[in-house]
Amino acid sequence: MSTVKVTDDTFQADVLQSETPVLVDFWAEWCGPCKQIAPALEQLAAELEGKVTIAKLDIEQSPTTPSRYGVRGIPTMMLFKGGQMASMKVGAMPKQKILEWLTEAGVAA
């Protein structure tokens, strides 16, 4: 499975009401570091299928949700479990660090 696109309109259903944990990547087309981590997120989406959903939200096309969650810099990754934001990381990081973060959060073990 690859990453899933979410928007302000689909955030409630796709993220907050999801049965599985969801990592949301807040990004924008003009953001270099966002593009750097995109391949790692695609790989993790495939490797962790069924354990965690990896979603991408373009802050330019859907500005309401990032504003609601206080996103100030991108890339910002937020992990949602049971409709609640459980953990957050700001800035680009290598795939291994993202995997360690998800493992610590109990979704990639």
> Which of 23, 31, 57, 108 is labelled catalytic?
31
The closest alpha carbon to 39, from 51, 27, 21, belongs to 27
- 21 near 86, Cβ under 8 Å? yes
- 99 near 44, Cβ under 8 Å? yes
Phi and psi at residue 55, to the nearest 5°: -115, 150
Confirm whether 31 is a catalytic residue. yes
> Which of 34, 52, 59, 102 is labelled catalytic?
34
Residue 35, number of CB atoms within 10 A of its CB: 14
- 74 near 26, Cβ under 8 Å? yes
**Residues with catalytic roles:** 31, 34
